[in-house]
Structure 1
Amino acid sequence: SLGQEKTLLFCILLLGYIVILGGNSMIIFVALTDSKLNSPMFFFLYNLSFVDIIYTTTTIPSMLSGLLAGMNTISVPGCFLQMHFLIQLGVTSRAILTVMAYDRYVAICKPLRYTAIMTRPARLLLIVGSWSFGVFCTLPATSMAFQRFYCGPNVVKHGWCDPSSVRRLVCGDVTVDNFVALSCAVVALLTTGVLILTSYILIGLSVLKMGVAQRLKVFGTCAAHLTVVSISYSSASCVYISYRVRIVVSVVYAALTPFLNPMIYSLKNKELRESIRRTLSSFRPAAVLPNKDVNTDA
């Protein structure tokens, strides 16, 4: 039977996973079915929700089964696939956040050209670019890890096949592997971080020329995205601190950001909130009034 601590952790993870699936699935559903949510912002948002669902599905179910079984086992190919998709989806989500920052920049700084710039082909190209960037930043480190020789203990001291935990099992020098992995991580974080920061600096300069009412409107538009970016990058910055702390941070981060994203966007975005309310109300059963017999006798 599960111990008290493991039972509590299992319940928290299971509840969190259900909320993640439910919240992000709801965003995808309303963005695809509600004609009022046809702006590019919601197109990028439901793509981010899709990535969040897959990202958590690569880690949380295996952790849940490991808690139930007492030991989580995974095949060698499965371990490397999990490691690859974990990194790739993490980078892809940040690339989509970067695209969303660019979308806000165009909407605020170039409103008259917004429709002409953010066409459907342009949106699709930006999403394909986000996925391609994720693959580009992931392949060098994961392909090197796959070619290494592993011996001795076959236990990964982590909730899943984390790259640095797997490298600890390599028989030989992993200095080059560590350098490549760190370089790819720095490129992924710096490239997306600098582009997001640049977008918001340009937005800030544009906001200075606006009136108070317009500034408040801009802040309302960007608040949700800024909150998500802050949580994402502050969590990621903790990954390369002490190994034990990093494991705790990465486990929390794997669930925290996808868990909070739907809540933040639904709370901060009025259109999305109203769309979810309309969707939920459409599933309520209609009230049926009881039929009353009318006496026609004289």
Structure 2
Amino acid sequence: MEKGNLTVEEFVLLGFLDLPKLREFLFGIFFFSYMIILAGNGLIIIITIRDQTLHKLMYLFLRNLSFLEICYTSVTLPRMLMSLQTQDGTISFLSCATQMCFLLILGATECFLLAVMAYDRYMSICNPLRYPIIMSRKVCILLAAASWISGILVQIGLTGQIFSLPFCDSNKLNHFFCDIPPVLKLACGDTSTNQLSVYAVALIFVTAPFLLILVSYVKIISTILKLPSATGRCKAFSTCSSHLIVVTLFFGSGTITYLWPKSSHSEDMDKFLSLFYTIVAPVFNPMIYSLRNKEVTVALKKFLSERFLC
């Protein structure tokens, strides 16, 4: 990789480096957010393993989602915190490529996992009699495993394609982490092939799962509205609303970043939106699922009372 007559060995993540007066405030906000993500998602993992009432298959997917959120944020937030603390956004070429690769793999996993969770809700509400047969424990474990491994080779290939480009003019990334749009902007020459690859991968790993979620919820809502009991309708909507909120947060920000034309939004907008799918969604996921799910709330209260009140 050559930059003029020089070898590009590192990038500089500008992030919040242009806001030195807000450094301590931003560090506090992001550090607090990271602690919430670790504690909140960690608690969900613990209670869904320990509490017998949460040994249902839907909580297997929730446990996977919580673990995924911890991994996803751990790829970006510690690096952001270090940059804010040291005011140094330098990241090596290999570290940048590695960070992007893990982000893409974990992002693809979340897309598929949210789609699997939507399908699980669809089978539970629309086909309750066939649900135990179709969504057996073995099938659910296979679906969860497939969500984790399905995008690995493709995302490694996409990362390799992007970082095989020559980089010139500047090594400064106007972002908090090594994401596709800011890295491609620094590449020299024609990147149209790479842009097409990004769109193709986004269609497979973002649009396809989102369409499956959409179809599932159209059928779910249609079935719920036909329920004779108002109590039954409220319970069914309550079960699904948590998942819908998470889907909206994650897919909404991700779609604008990767699929909308770049002329329709600025780099600053990309940076702002990236906070939603890397920080905001993982922070609120445990709250959304615990506050809107009575079984999780009861199990959480029981766990906390055993630990701190006894």
Partner of 2:281 in structure 1?
Answer: 257
Alignment-mate amino acid for residue 277 of structure 1 = K
Q: Name the count of aligned residue pairs.
A: 285
Partner of 2:215 in structure 1?
Answer: 198
Contact 2:249-2:276 within 8 A present in 1 as well: no
Do the aligned partners of residues 285 and 216 (structure 1) sit closer, same or farther apart at CA in structure 2, a change above 3 Å counting? Answer: closer
Partner Cα separation in structure 1 for residue 24 and residue 267 of structure 2: 25
Partner Cα separation in structure 2 for residue 173 and residue 196 of structure 1: 35
Partner Cα separation in structure 1 for residue 208 and residue 281 of structure 2: 20
2:125 alignment partner, one of 88, 108, 111? 108
Partner Cα separation in structure 2 for residue 37 and residue 101 of structure 1: 18
Partner Cα separation in structure 2 for residue 137 and residue 102 of structure 1: 24
Partner of 1:89 in structure 2?
Answer: 106
Partner of 2:12 in structure 1?
Answer: none
Match of 2:175, SS? Answer: coil
Deviation of residue 181 (structure 1)?
0.8
Deviation of residue 86 (structure 1)?
0.9
Partner of 1:73 in structure 2?
Answer: 90
Deviation of residue 72 (structure 1)?
2.1
Partner of 2:14 in structure 1?
Answer: none
Partner of 1:243 in structure 2?
Answer: 267
Partner of 1:267 in structure 2?
Answer: 291
Whichever of the two has the greater Rg, that structure is: 1
Q: Which moved more, 1:262-271 or 1:85-94?
A: 85-94
Contact 2:37-2:70 within 8 A present in 1 as well: yes
Contact 2:249-2:277 within 8 A present in 1 as well: no
> RMSD of aligned C-alpha atoms?
1.7
Partner of 1:295 in structure 2?
Answer: none
Match of 2:190, SS? Answer: coil
Contact 1:91-1:137 within 8 A present in 2 as well: no
Partner of 1:279 in structure 2?
Answer: 303
Deviation of residue 229 (structure 1)?
1.1
Partner Cα separation in structure 2 for residue 68 and residue 138 of structure 1: 31
Partner of 1:216 in structure 2?
Answer: 234
| TM-score relative to the length of structure 2 | 0.87
Quick one: percent identity of the two aligned structures?
38
Query: More relative contact order in 1 or in 2 (CA 8 Å, sep 6+)?
Result: 2
Q: Deviations over 1:149-184 (max 9, x none)?
A: 334432222111111211223232111111111221
Alignment-mate amino acid for residue 34 of structure 1 = D
1:4 alignment partner, one of 10, 21, 44? 21
1:130 alignment partner, one of 137, 147, 150? 147
Deviation of residue 10 (structure 1)?
0.8
Partner Cα separation in structure 1 for residue 104 and residue 271 of structure 2: 15
1:58 alignment partner, one of 64, 75, 82? 75
Alignment-mate amino acid for residue 213 of structure 2 = I
Partner of 1:163 in structure 2?
Answer: 180
Q: Which moved more, 1:78-87 or 1:154-163?
A: 154-163
Partner of 2:248 in structure 1?
Answer: 230
Q: Which moved more, 1:182-191 or 1:10-19?
A: 182-191
Partner of 1:153 in structure 2?
Answer: 170
Contact 1:95-1:134 within 8 A present in 2 as well: no
Deviation of residue 102 (structure 1)?
0.6
Match of 1:74, SS? Answer: strand
Q: Deviations over 1:199-227 (max 9, x none)?
A: 11121222233112221121111111111
Partner Cα separation in structure 2 for residue 73 and residue 4 of structure 1: 20
Q: Deviations over 1:8-48 (max 9, x none)?
A: 11111000010011000000011111111011111000100
Gapped regions of structure 1 (runs ≥ 5):
287-298
Do the aligned partners of residues 154 and 79 (structure 1) sit closer, same or farther apart at CA in structure 2, a change above 3 Å counting? Answer: same
Deviation of residue 285 (structure 1)?
5.1
Alignment-mate amino acid for residue 127 of structure 1 = A
| TM-score relative to the length of structure 1 | 0.90
Contact 2:40-2:287 within 8 A present in 1 as well: yes
Superposed counterparts of 1:23-62, under 5 Å: 23-62=40-79
Alignment-mate amino acid for residue 284 of structure 2 = L
Contact 1:137-1:187 within 8 A present in 2 as well: no
Alignment-mate amino acid for residue 233 of structure 1 = F
Q: Deviations over 1:57-97 (max 9, x none)?
A: 00010001001111122222211110011122112112111
Deviation of residue 136 (structure 1)?
5.4
